[in-house]
Structure 1
Amino acid sequence: MNYFIPLFKKSTGIVLGLIGSLALGIVPAKAINIGVTPPRFHIDMSKNTTRSQSIRVLNLDSKPVELKISVQSWVMNEQNQLQAVSPQEQSLEQWIVFTPSKFIVPPGGAQTIRFTIRPRVKPQAGEHRAVLYIEEVAKQNPASKGVDIVAKVGVAIYGYVGDIKRIGVLNAVKVDTKKDTLNAVFDISSQGNASVRLNGQYAIWPAAKYPGAEATKPIANLDKPGAKVNEPVADAGFLPATPVLPASRRQVLLPITKKLSPGNYVLDINGELNGVAIKKNIPFTVPINAPLANNTNTQTQPASQKLRNSLKNPQHRR
């Protein structure tokens, strides 16, 4: 995980649980006026000096908020959704000690959460994963007839032991125009003992104006607020950073939510898969009857940028 996540606005009758940048490397999470930083950790567990870490929680609201902490083991299922799993002897969850476990952050205030990794047994070589959840404590309201609403964010923690080998293979890339939303589909295998993920940018060109893969370059300052995509590029954004866990093969989706007129296009990719350059162009055709998404933020917030800010809802509680 690049790790963890933003708390998102509360909706009536549900519990929100986003493991937000699970390996994505996003900016400090913000939601319901809460900020959490950093969003993730990569820790070399062979170095004792790096096992103690801290997380900063900011309350940007005008009201106090009460929060509690928990830790959970996780994997990614075949739908690339975070899935909680029961801890085993070699689970990083078993080795994380944190403080405080429950606290109140005053309006405009901050709280530091400290955690340390203390293995109970000799860690096996490879990647170990856990998520530290920061969860809002539901307020007791006897008069309320609805379901308590809480928000939950997660900070991804990766621990590494021994010789780490990230071996990512991009088996294929295609653009699927047959479903309700256009999707670029990246077929990725992770053949080492640690997660791999994409990094870089994509751009969508009208086929008639595409200059060729060797002539295109990453767009400068695309991650800055108000960034604009100049014509003839129809859309641009960041590649999905969804992690592909060791010894697995997954299809990672990049939803193309920009409304494209029917016609021929080229998906141009300037990126890498764990250090291995990816320079590809994938022609595709938007049919006349294609179901197109309505996206009003076509210039400043491309679909992939939204994807970088959160993973799928894990929908799990301890």
Structure 2
Amino acid sequence: MLKRATSLVLSLVSAIAFMVPEAIAMEIGVSPPRFEIKMDGKTKSQSIKIVNMSSEPVEMQAYVRNWTLNENNQIEEISSTEQSLDQWIVFTPSRFTIPPRGTQNVRFAIRPKVKPAAGEHRAIIYLEEVPSANAGSQAVKAVGRVGVAVYAYSGDVKRVATINSINVDAKSTAVQAKFDVSNTGNAHVRLKGQYAIWRAANYPGLKATQAIPKDKSKLPANVISVGDLDFAPILPAMRRQLTLPIKQKLPPGNYVLDINGDLSGVPIDQGIKFTVPVANTSPVTPRK
């Protein structure tokens, strides 16, 4: 738990489950991490399973919020509208206690109050720890919460996105690739797949490369590094910069960033050349 020298603080120990298979906080496991639901008049109720993995009981409360992603791809809560999904979600229970090693299901359903506009509607169902009533005013206490993203779709859903550019910044202390992506559709898109770093002199070209099996114990010759592309979603009518840090330290030289990915159904196959320069170091002048 995070510590705060205050009486009671809300801490966003919030695993808004965009990319992880299971969101965990406060020794609480939540599954599934997100929902994608078609609103067709036959929508069934859904269930979130919450597991208390600790040896103590935990009291929790559930509530729903409208949200978006800011320019830094961080979640921001925003005001509700008549078309926002948070206005249409009903759930039970809203407050509950889970015994040690126990489980609890929170069930919810979508009941639109107006005719949904075509496309995507979003909400977050937060599951938040309720602080103990026995905590004194001087107690050091943090409150955690975990959020489950809910996407609901109505009518003609269009996922239309474009990669405007992919650039590699190799001049800073850490090499990173930046993807400039625009979404002109009415539902979110995701860029997924795999990247590989090749030595430029031995790069066989786009048509000769493909995704490298994850269970491969040894990388192919002249492949320096391999990793996954798994970014936050790009929401409708947004243009965002997605940053991919290259964790492996690359010595000076010429390389190719080979992309074998998928942008919500559209194959992405690109090779971006870049050079890691020799570090510029200035001689140290001795102190007199």
Q: What's the TM-score once normalised by structure 2's chain length?
A: 0.88
Structure 1 residues not aligned, in runs of 5+: 1-9, 291-318
The yes-or-no answer on 1:103 pairing with 2:92 is no
Following superposition of structure 1 onto structure 2, how do residues 216-227 of structure 1 map, counting pairs within 5 Å?
A: 216-221=209-214
- Measured in 1, the distance between the counterparts of 2:128 and 2:261 equals 35
Q: 1:105-164, CA deviations, whole angstroms, 9 ceiling, x for partnerless residues?
A: 112111111001111111111110001111122234216354x31221111100111000
The yes-or-no answer on 1:90 pairing with 2:79 is no
Higher strand share: 2
Q: Give 2:2's aligned residue.
A: 11
Structure 2 residues not aligned, in runs of 5+: 281-288
- Measured in 1, the distance between the counterparts of 2:54 and 2:278 equals 47
Q: Which runs of 4+ in 1 moved over 6 A?
A: none
The answer to whether the 8 Å contact 2:29/2:53 transfers is yes
Following superposition of structure 1 onto structure 2, how do residues 1-318 of structure 1 map, counting pairs within 5 Å?
A: 10-13=1-4, 15-22=11-18, 24=19, 26-50=20-44, 52-139=45-132, 140-142=134-136, 144-146=138-140, 148-221=141-214, 228=217, 230=219, 232-289=222-279
Which one-letter code corresponds to 2:39 in the other structure?
M
Which one-letter code corresponds to 1:230 in the other structure?
L
Matched residue SS, 2:87: helix
Aligned-CA RMSD value: 2.0
- Measured in 2, the distance between the counterparts of 1:57 and 1:210 equals 48
- Measured in 2, the distance between the counterparts of 1:68 and 1:250 equals 33
* Percent identity for Structure 1 against Structure 2: 50
Q: 1:268-305, CA deviations, whole angstroms, 9 ceiling, x for partnerless residues?
A: 11111111111111111223339xxxxxxxxxxxxxxx
Matched positions, count: 273
- Measured in 1, the distance between the counterparts of 2:171 and 2:64 equals 40
Q: What's the TM-score once normalised by structure 1's chain length?
A: 0.80
Which one-letter code corresponds to 1:54 in the other structure?
S
Q: 1:228 to 1:71 in 2, by over 3 A?
A: farther
- Measured in 1, the distance between the counterparts of 2:191 and 2:185 equals 15
